[in-house]
């Protein structure tokens, strides 16, 4: 069976406020900008994107579970769930898809509680602190893994 030519883009709590919430930290680009950038990057490699954003952990977990049947990989910015959610980590681990972890800001240069990521060990790609453009780099690196152009 051929792997689907689709990736799941997951954005966690408060990322719907990109462009509005603390623009000095997160910039002025919006979630719609992120989705367009990832969709364009994926399309240039022959992949489609399904995007989900929610402020509710269970919605994100359900989307991740569904991805095991519909996607070849997952790009995720878990937002604050990065530092708190074992169940989100377990969902990512459980579907056994390649994962790219993205953070708009440099979480390691911020408050100490942001330095731990429950997603880190299940992700094969990490792009931290590159702003919204980091989603494009994460998508391309992840697609390199999916298509066999990189180890992961």
The tens digit of pLDDT for each residue in 40-92 reads 999 999 999 999 999 999 999 999 999 999 999 999 999 999 988 999 999 99
| Spatial distance between the Cα atoms of 22 and 20, rounded to a whole number of angstroms | 6
List residues forming the annotated binding site for substrate. Answer: 77, 83, 90, 104-105, 114
Local confidence band at 138 (pLDDT 50, 70, 90 cut-offs): very high
> How confident is the model at residue 112, as a pLDDT?
80
Percent of the chain with pLDDT over 90: 80
Domains of the chain (ranges plus CATH)?
Answer: 6-146 (3.40.50.9100)
Model pTM? Answer: 0.93
Tell me the catalytic residues: 26, 103
List residues forming the annotated binding site. Answer: 77, 83, 90, 104-105, 114
């Amino acid at each position: 069976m051929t792997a689907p030519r689709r990736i799941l883009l997951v954005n966690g709590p408060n990322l719907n406020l990109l462009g509005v919430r603390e623009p000095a930290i997160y910039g002025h680009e919006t979630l719609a900008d992120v989705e367009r950038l990832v969709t364009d990057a994926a399309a240039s490699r022959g992949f489609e994107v399904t995007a989900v954003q929610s402020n509710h952990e269970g919605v994100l977990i359900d989307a991740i579970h569904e991805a095991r049947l519909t996607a070849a990989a997952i790009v995720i910015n878990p937002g604050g769930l990065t530092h708190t959610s074992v169940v989100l980590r377990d969902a990512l681990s459980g579907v056994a898809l390649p994962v790219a972890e993205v953070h708009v800001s440099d979480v390691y240069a911020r408050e100490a509680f942001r330095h731990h990521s429950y997603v880190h060990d299940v992700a094969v790609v990490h792009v931290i602190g590159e702003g919204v453009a980091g989603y494009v780099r994460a998508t391309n690196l992840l697609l390199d893994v999916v298509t066999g152009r990189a180890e992961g």
